[in-house]
Amino acid sequence: MSRNATRIGALRERIGDEILLEGWLYNRRSSGKLEFLLVRDGSGIVQCVAVKAELPEGVFARCATVTQESSVRVTGVVREDKRAPSGVEISLRDIEIVGASTDFPITPKEHGPSFLLDQRHLWIRSQRQAAVLKIRHTLVQACRDWLDADGFILADAPIFTPSACEGTTTLFETQYFDEKAYLTQSGQLYNEATAMAFGRSYCFGPTFRAEKSKTRRHLIEFWMVEPEVAFATLDDVMVLIERFVEGIVGRVLEKRREELKILERDVAPLERVRAPFPRVSYDDSARLLRGKGVPFEWGNDFGATDETVLTEGYDRPFFVHRFPAAVKAFYMKRDPGDDRLSLSCDLLAPEGYGEIVGGGEREDSLDRLVERIHEHKLPLDAFQWYLDLRRYGSVPHSGFGMGIERTLTWLCGIEHLRETIPFPRMLNRLRP
Ligand code: 4AD
Ligand code: MG
């Protein structure tokens, strides 16, 4: 934006003034003597009204020909309009077409998801998509602010890693000069090192999973915020998760009402997101599923449908804790009360959304951790640095990872997580 232009979001403070707007034509309606131009600039949409009788012929003619998504500079006077979402309307005085747009591929009519995903670089200009991405911006900021205020140090983990964190079936292998490397699945192992340096730390970045499944909940590249706390137990981390989730949801409700409204999100369920959250064991969840007639077998991980059924019993996020060790990663500490179980927890979002957070307590004994690495058939050498954390002042410690896109899908109340990231990477989709 040039220095002398006003953003649409700031027009309310300029009522009565002549201003310059810089943006793109969102839509246009005409009625012969009048042209109604909807202009967007990223901060909002405003209606500019051109009256034929009041304008030089050339100006009105330009208004009548400007096409969808042409970039424009509009000069006009700001008038109050209580019915408009922006609260104002512009009486157009002049218009300059900066860059014409011919046959913009996304029209107000319905398009299929595959077409829209091919046009993602243009689709993000639409009001709904922009609303989701603004909520994403606020969510990311809320995560950082909350953790920073709670004394966490941001210590980001590497993307290129020498070993697996979350199991070998979803690893992306890549060449790293003359050795093999893997794209990170989670920064957790590195967080465990930084937590031993800072007491509490977090990383926040992209993570990668070569997920062969095509679902509404899986991306190949997704963002995760991962806090880790020294001396914390499973119970401590569940308290951390619920305080954190309550805080960030509160922030989104406070800052993004307008965008949630654009998405027609019922905010009542989000307003109920108050700690403490219910806690239910894996055992009880398995029993509950069978009680509802779901043919669920003890020992399995929950599938998407199982999770959806589980969420029916709750009006707010809830924990499932103590999953069978066999379905969780090698680093999970076993439950001292039952060796088949791990000190793990997932947080499930209500309304059918399911898992948004995975976390738990880490194995802190050197010998047991070496045993697990063998059991999981992982290469011991690659984990020597990680084992050092148990050799030099090991402490009980716990942490979690929250998927940004899963969380946003729930907050926005949308069907599929592909709309929650600017450029989704999915099975069979690397473009644009
Ligand atoms: O449950 P996950 O696999 O846990 C971990 O990676 C732990 N190491 C985190 C930790 O304790 N530091 O993943 C954590 C969260 C999930 O709950 C989900 O929200 C998200 O990451 N997630 C995905 N989001 C989108 N697409 C995928 N393929 C995802 N896989 C996990
Ligand atoms: Mg998980």
From the CA of 346, how far away is ligand 2's center (Å)? 7
Ligand 1 neighbourhood includes 221 CB (under 6 angstroms): no
Counting DSSP H helices and E strands in the chain, the numbers are 13, 18
Structure tokens belonging to residue 397:
């410690």
Q: Rounded to whole angstroms, how far apart are CA atoms 209 and 190?
A: 17
Which atom number of ligand 1 is nearest to the Cα of residue 347? 17
Residue 74 and residue 45 in contact, taking contact as beta carbons nearer than 8 Å: no
Reported CATH class of domain 8-99: mainly beta
Which residues of the chain carry a pLDDT beneath 70? Answer: none
Phi, psi for 372 (deg, rounded to 5): -65, -40
| CA distances (Å), origin 235, targets 242, 263, 311, 317, 319 | 11, 36, 21, 16, 11
Q: Rounded to whole angstroms, how far apart are CA atoms 65 and 226?
A: 51
Residue whose CA is at the smallest distance from ligand 1 atom 28: 218
E strands within 231-343? 279-281, 318-321, 334-335, 338-342
Q: Rounded to whole angstroms, how far apart are CA atoms 414 and 430?
A: 22
Residue whose CA is at the smallest distance from ligand 1 atom 29: 218
Picking from 33, 102, 40, 42, the residue whose alpha carbon sits closest to that of residue 66 is 102
Each residue's pLDDT tens digit, 336-355:
999 999 999 999 999 999 99
Cβ partners under 8 Å of residue 237, min gap 6: 229, 345, 359, 360, 361, 398, 399, 400
From the CA of 432, how far away is ligand 2's center (Å)? 28
How much is the pLDDT for 1? 83
From the CA of 339, how far away is ligand 1's center (Å)? 24
| Residue length of the chain | 432
Picking from 375, 371, 407, the residue whose alpha carbon sits closest to that of residue 387 is 371
The architecture (CATH level 2) of 118-419 comes to 2-Layer Sandwich (3.30)
Ligand 1 neighbourhood includes 247 CB (under 6 angstroms): no
Which atom number of ligand 1 is nearest to the Cα of residue 185? 6
Residue whose CA is at the smallest distance from ligand 1 atom 1: 358
How much is the pLDDT for 69? 98
Residue 220 and residue 209 in contact, taking contact as beta carbons nearer than 8 Å: yes
Residue whose CA is at the smallest distance from ligand 1 atom 2: 358
Ligand 1 neighbourhood includes 192 CB (under 6 angstroms): no
Ligand 1 neighbourhood includes 406 CB (under 6 angstroms): yes
Q: Where are the alpha helices (DSSP H) in 208-280?
A: 234-255, 257-262, 268-271
Residue 130 and residue 124 in contact, taking contact as beta carbons nearer than 8 Å: yes
Q: Where are the alpha helices (DSSP H) in 79-187?
A: 113-118, 120-123, 127-149
Annotated domain spans of the chain? 8-99, 118-419
Residue environment code for 284-305, b if the CB has 16+ CB neighbours within 10 A, otherwise e = ebbebbeeeeeebeeeeebebe
Cβ partners under 8 Å of residue 79, min gap 6: 15, 16, 88, 89, 90, 91
Q: Rounded to whole angstroms, how far apart are CA atoms 272 and 244?
A: 15
Which atom number of ligand 1 is nearest to the Cα of residue 165? 8
Which atom number of ligand 1 is nearest to the Cα of residue 224? 21
What is the CB neighbour count within 10 angstroms for residue 108? 9
E strands within 52-199? 71-80, 88-99, 153-154, 160-161, 173-176, 179-183
How much is the pLDDT for 86? 87
Picking from 344, 298, 348, the residue whose alpha carbon sits closest to that of residue 321 is 344
From the CA of 225, how far away is ligand 1's center (Å)? 9
pTM for this predicted structure: 0.97
Residue 20 and residue 73 in contact, taking contact as beta carbons nearer than 8 Å: yes
From the CA of 127, how far away is ligand 2's center (Å)? 32
Q: Which of 143, 147, 163, 186 to mutate to test the pocket of ligand 1 (most atoms within 8 A of CB)?
A: 186
Residues with CB under 5 A from ligand 2 (ion): 358
From the CA of 403, how far away is ligand 1's center (Å)? 6
Structure tokens belonging to residue 373:
């690495």
Q: Rounded to whole angstroms, how far apart are CA atoms 392 and 385?
A: 11
Structure tokens belonging to residue 54:
């009041």
Closest ligand to residue 354's CA? 1
Identify whether 108 is preceded by a cis peptide bond (ω within 30 of 0).
no
Q: In what order do the strands lie in the sheet with 279-281?
A: 153-154, 200-208, 221-230, 397-403, 354-361, 344-349, 318-321, 279-281
